[in-house]
Structure 1
Amino acid sequence: MTTPEARLLRRVTTASVTVAVVLIALKLAATLSTNAISLMASLIDSTMDLFASLVTLIAVRIALQPPDEDHRFGHGKAEPLAALAQATFIAGSGAFLFLEAIQRLIRPQPIDAADLGIMVMLVSMLTTAGLVLFQRYVIRKTRSPAIKADAAHYTADFLINAATIAALWIAHQGIEWIDPIFGAIVGGFVLFSAWQVGRAALDQLMDREVLDGSESRIHDLATAHPSVHAADHIRTRMAGRTMIIQLYIYLDNHLDLANAHVIGDEVAANIQKGFPGADVLIHEEPYHPETAPHI
């Protein structure tokens, strides 16, 4: 059965690809008409966004597949893999754009039909703004790293589109060197965005600890149970949109195995209230005051 989250993820990835195709068509026509490096910068960025959005679309559909015999922990890591691929696409477009801007500085070229370029960029801004608002809504509902990476691209696009309008207007006033300067700045910004997206993806793929205060919150939720004397060995990581939590809890020595597991299940349920959707694994240990950790 398809869940509301799955439906949202499918819709937003389809919307992302559709917007990318529309923007590429608009910007290609404007670039051919104006010969502006700033518009070429935006076109290249949108082209890379299309590739990234296609990767995201495929990855999200893979990640939504349930666990099977070969993937007992599910397919969640398809999403950070998609984000890493996006970072590669973005880095390539940024490097190409930076080099093209340097060539235009050495061999300046005039800009034609600036009014057309500005109109196209205004339409691009409105379209991009609508997509980003939808993506942010989906991120709040699903915490998808792939959609978060995609939204980062389009948020940057919105700012780039606004700056492109300014660059076109200034260049049209006769200050043509501003166009390649702007292209070089955007190229640097795109490379920086690629580094941010790639770093976040690698953190997930390398099972980096979730460093946002989660350990302290998990400890407090576990020790809030009246039968838990202490908790330690708390470990966390992300597998796509799912947070994996592991910990030890210390219980009275006289408890039998069945009761210990009942308490463990109650503690896991309490932790899941604080971390909805988390996969919680608890190891029950006998409590020895002289060796067990203190609350």
Structure 2
Amino acid sequence: MTPGIKVIVVGAIANLLLSIFKFIGGILGNSVALVADAIHSLSDLMTDVIVLFTHRIGQMPQDEDHPYGHGRAETIGATVIGLFIIATGIGVIYETWQALGESSGKTPGWLAVIAATLSIIINEGLFHYTRRVGEATQSPSLLANAWHHRSDAISSIAALIGIIGAGQGFPFMDPLAGAVVGVMIVKVGIDITREGVRDLMDTALSEEHIKKIHSILTEIPEVIHFHDLRSRVIGGEFLIDVHIIVDPEMTVTEGHRVAEIARRSLIKAF
């Protein structure tokens, strides 16, 4: 089992247990916010399935039909995850809005507090674990899933604040916290979707990265000038094309050597 597959499986198991625990804690503990948070954890479980599928395809080697590899599958997966998160957030906002008008008057209990606290700890741990593996494997879908775990941790914090507030005599704070959870979920989904769409549209690297490329090429003495710089991201990897101009008196072998120096310098930097 590869590190990428392992982190997905670990996350899926954790999300399944968390969603069950938070549903029970929310219902028995009288917390609308925690039930909303449980829905978020359930959405994490569903996106884990998407990540598993797209990550396995994205890690497949190049072939005759896919000379650039299968990295686009991971970008598509990340975009789908983002859209799924947005839909989940909207659903949570709707449910908590309904709860605001149908308040039962019951105060959330300590079971809800314990469930929310445990969720914060576990999801923050999953975020760091998944992000570390995602960065090591340059996997957009794993990184998107990592931020999904972080959004769940943040939403659990909001739920915990609402639960405590309701326990202190402000019952409206629990469903209100649920609505805040929904907004946070939507925000994370929009960010992930935007990044995925940028990569699918072959958007160039950031201005900071372009400046870094210019700096690297200008530091090579044999490179007189360069132009037609093009860049894009596929499956977490940077693809850079650039025409470099060298001394016309150079031999083909010498010119190739300079091009290889430029290539290796860019690979080392990115």
Tell me the TM-score range normalised by the shorter chain: over 0.9
Task: Indicate the residue corresponding to 2:95 in structure 1.
Answer: 100
Residue of structure 1 in register with 2:238 after alignment:
243
Kept in 1: contact 2:159–2:181 (CA 8 A): no
Q: 1:145 aligns with which of 129, 140, 143?
A: 140
The answer to whether residue 116 in structure 2 is matched with residue 121 in structure 1 is yes
Q: Please give the alpha-carbon distance, in whole angstroms, between the structure 1 residues aligned to 2:222 and 2:154.
A: 54
What's 2:130 paired with? Answer: 135
Deviations along 1:29-53, one digit per CA (max 9) or x if unpaired, are: 2233234210111011111111112
| 1:85 counterpart (80, 87, 107) | 80
Alignment check: 8 A CA contact 2:89 2:183 kept = yes
Give 1:209 shift: 0.8
The answer for the alignment partner of 1:36 in structure 2 is: 31
Q: Is 2:266 the counterpart of 1:271?
A: yes
Of structures 1 and 2, the one scoring higher in RCO (CA 8 A, sep 6+) is: 2
Q: Distance in 1 between matches of 2:115 and 2:207?
A: 41
1:180 aligned to 2:211? no
Are the aligned partners of 1:13 and 1:56 in contact in 2 as well (CA < 8 Å)?
yes
Change (3 A) 1:229 1:113: closer
* Cα displacement (A) at 1:250: 0.4
Structure 1 Cα separation of the partners of residues 7 and 213 of structure 2: 32
Cα deviations by residue, 1:43-66 (Å, 9 ceiling, x for unpaired): 111111111122112211111110
The gaps in structure 2 that reach 5 residues or longer are none
State the alpha-carbon separation in 2 of the partners of residues 191 and 28 from structure 1. 21
Match of 1:226 among 207, 221, 227: 221
Identity rate, percent: 26
Following superposition, the deviation at residue 239 of structure 1 comes to 0.3
1:7 corresponding residue in structure 2 = 2
Corresponding residue number in structure 2 for 1:285: none
- Secondary structure in structure 1 of the residue aligned to 2:221: coil
Distance (Å, rounded) in 2 between the aligned partners of 1:125 and 1:65: 34
Segments of structure 1 that go 5 or more residues without pairing to the other structure are 1-5, 276-295
CA contact under 8 A between 2:155 and 2:185: conserved in structure 1? no
TM-score (normalizing by structure 1): 0.85
Partners of 1:105 and 1:272 in 2: how far apart? 54
TM-score, structure 2 as length reference? 0.93
CA distance in 2, matches of 1:144, 1:111: 45
Shift of 1:212: 4.2
Deviation per CA, 1:218-250: give whole Å up to 9, x if none. 222223333211112211111012100110100
In 1, Cα distance between equivalents of 2:209 and 2:7: 29
Q: Measure, in 2, the Cα distance between the counterparts of 1:265 and 1:215.
A: 19
Local SS of the residue matching 2:2: helix
Equivalent pair of 1:44/1:97 in contact (CA under 8 Å):
yes
**C-alpha contact 2:73 2:235 (8 A) present in aligned 1:** yes
Structure 1 segments, 4+ long, off by >4 Å, are none
Q: Does 1:165 align with 2:160?
A: yes
- Alpha-carbon distance between aligned partners in 2 of 1:89 and 1:196, rounded to the nearest angstrom: 12
| Rounded Cα–Cα distance in structure 2 between residues aligned with 1:108 and 1:72 | 58
Kindly indicate which of the two structures has a greater share of residues assigned to helix.
2
Rounded to whole Å, the distance in 1 between the matches of 2:157 and 2:182 is: 15
Q: Partners of 1:184 and 1:193 in 2: how far apart?
A: 15
Residue 256 (structure 1) shift: 3.7
C-alpha distance in 2, partners of 1:60/1:268? 27
> Is this contact kept in 2: 1:209–1:237, CA < 8 A?
yes
SS at match of 1:231: strand
Q: How much does 1:78 deviate?
A: 1.2
Instruction: Give the Cα–Cα distance (whole angstroms) in 2 for the partners of residues 48 and 193 of structure 1.
Output: 13
AA partner of residue 10 (structure 1): I
Deviating more after overlay: 47-56 vs 164-173: 164-173
- In structure 2, do the counterparts of structure 1 residues 138 and 189 end up closer, same or farther at CA, with 3 Å as the change threshold? same
In the alignment, which residue of structure 1 is the partner of 2:104? 109
Q: Using a 3 Å threshold, how does the CA distance of structure 1 residues 152 and 196 change in structure 2: closer, same or farther?
A: same
Counterpart residue identity of residue 228, structure 2:
H
**Paired letter, 1:179:** D
Q: Given the alignment, which residue of 38, 41, 54 partners 2:49? A: 54
